[in-house]
Structure 1
């Protein structure tokens, strides 16, 4: 388990992190989301030891992380850091060897990863000859090639087309399934929502929300409702405790101040005729994100 406790960081008089604390559990995919400049990259660099915190600590299973521990991390920076004129496979083998893998293990891991990520046919190409999306895949492979026990990835889905996103999601989910704690940042909230077990939302250097997706939905944002009836439902606008979000004759989408208010809508609709559908829509991550950073 990776545990970040009370981390603060300032550059001169500007504080960029304030008492940042959260946990990345074994086998859990944790999405780290926030606007540009919120503190995501600084936090990740402190986890990796690239930066030192002013206070606070990073722990593995309750023990402060050491330089030796960090060799077990797989890190992907937001900025591409591969050698552009080096061949893809040659570079991955080199990076695996730097982490202590034997030549045979380095070559085997490289071959397997390139196949998984759809780059098998590009193994002998230079990095600079790849498209930006394929360069991103190669960067992800570089973070994984040494069989890391922890993954910290900064915007791994940036620049990927929808098919590539699915491929990378599958690979990362496989690492989590093997028990690795996986932390990644992303601005693509739909991907975070689909992939992650846990969410950490940061704004202005402070953690605003932290927990499982279900827990955050319970804590933030009212559920939204949809109803479709056999007749016109314009009367819903005058129902107490109801705010109509969308309306189209026999259909309405609405927010309710209380469960009782939503049930009153349903009961009134039944007295007027047939109700074809009535459902509760859980708040999306985008809705929760907007609420907690406001």
Structure 2
């Protein structure tokens, strides 16, 4: 663990509302991020994720509700204990990579000498030691984004807040970022990030908030979200018809030469007995637990899920 003891929740928001004209960007949101956890805010672009983060951080004030950051009701008092990477990236093109990291740390009270030492070490550990002296304009997009990320954490904050941190990164650098997030969490740092890519949240997060239309539609563990849906059964039989078919659930679908249905509430054993007694000839049977994507569709709706997929396609094509 680092620094002073943390409160039970690193970030709290209760009844938060933020409007812009007639648009209600944040609509009565409640959220509590356990200290030391990796917590994801999941939703499509325009769902209210960025406004929610900025309200929690004290960058903008809510119209209604209360928030606490690291136990403090005045979030900006905790600015030096927070590392924030906004969705809109920005670095000085002529500044050298290691100087950019140190400069961002200095904005949070870290002495420049220490920032420069840490910056060089971080870049070297990340395989970017040879680029430490290069100006930002000579770096690739992924490398420049990594520099900004290091500038976000160089002062060793207790809380790291990342707004769409994977946006614009290729698969290799996304994997490196996931490793970095896990490393920070192992040090006891709380990591809160927003994303419209479900896979990142499923791999990284202990808890998630699913946001759509400015509201939190679900808050809890990834397992809690997935457990809202029953496991799915895929059954392949040699026989295509017979009395045994009456044992299949009414919602069973025949697709790709197999039967697909939700695991019955009573379990799979009664169905197996009926199939065996009816000489269905079981060729294969698999039971798959629903993924977070399936849970997202069930919680936020098909429209929000389609928008998430469209957001990802646009980003990959950019």
Name the TM-score, length of structure 2 as normaliser. 0.83
Deviation at 1:246, TM superposition (A): 3.5
Maintained 8 Å contact 2:80/2:109: no
CA-to-aligned-CA distance 1:1-52 (integer Å, 9 cap, x gap) = 2212111000112111111111111221111111111100001111222111
1:92 has 2:101 as partner: yes
CA-to-aligned-CA distance 1:55-94 (integer Å, 9 cap, x gap) = 1122145441342212211100111121122111111111
Deviation at 1:226, TM superposition (A): 2.4
Could you tell me which runs of 5 or more consecutive residues in structure 2 were left unpaired when the two chains were aligned. Answer: 1-8, 302-318
Aligned residue in 2 for 1:226: 234
User: What is the aligned-residue RMSD (CA, Å)?
Assistant: 2.2
Count residues with an aligned counterpart.
289
Could you tell me which runs of 5 or more consecutive residues in structure 1 were left unpaired when the two chains were aligned. Answer: none
Maintained 8 Å contact 1:157/1:165: yes
Does the residue aligned with 1:64 lie in a helix, a strand or coil?
Answer: coil
1:255 has 2:265 as partner: no
**Which of the residues 72, 76, 80 maps onto 1:67?**
76
Residues in 1 aligned to 2:298 and 2:167: alpha-carbon distance in whole angstroms: 25
1:265 has 2:300 as partner: no
Residues in 2 aligned to 1:51 and 1:245: alpha-carbon distance in whole angstroms: 52
Name the TM-score, length of structure 1 as normaliser. 0.89
Aligned residue in 2 for 1:15: 24
Residues in 2 aligned to 1:282 and 1:164: alpha-carbon distance in whole angstroms: 29
Residues in 1 aligned to 2:254 and 2:165: alpha-carbon distance in whole angstroms: 35
Residues in 2 aligned to 1:284 and 1:62: alpha-carbon distance in whole angstroms: 34
Residues in 2 aligned to 1:232 and 1:153: alpha-carbon distance in whole angstroms: 54
**Which of the residues 124, 127, 131 maps onto 2:136?**
127
Residues in 1 aligned to 2:256 and 2:270: alpha-carbon distance in whole angstroms: 18
CA-to-aligned-CA distance 1:248-274 (integer Å, 9 cap, x gap) = 2xx443324x32375443233333266
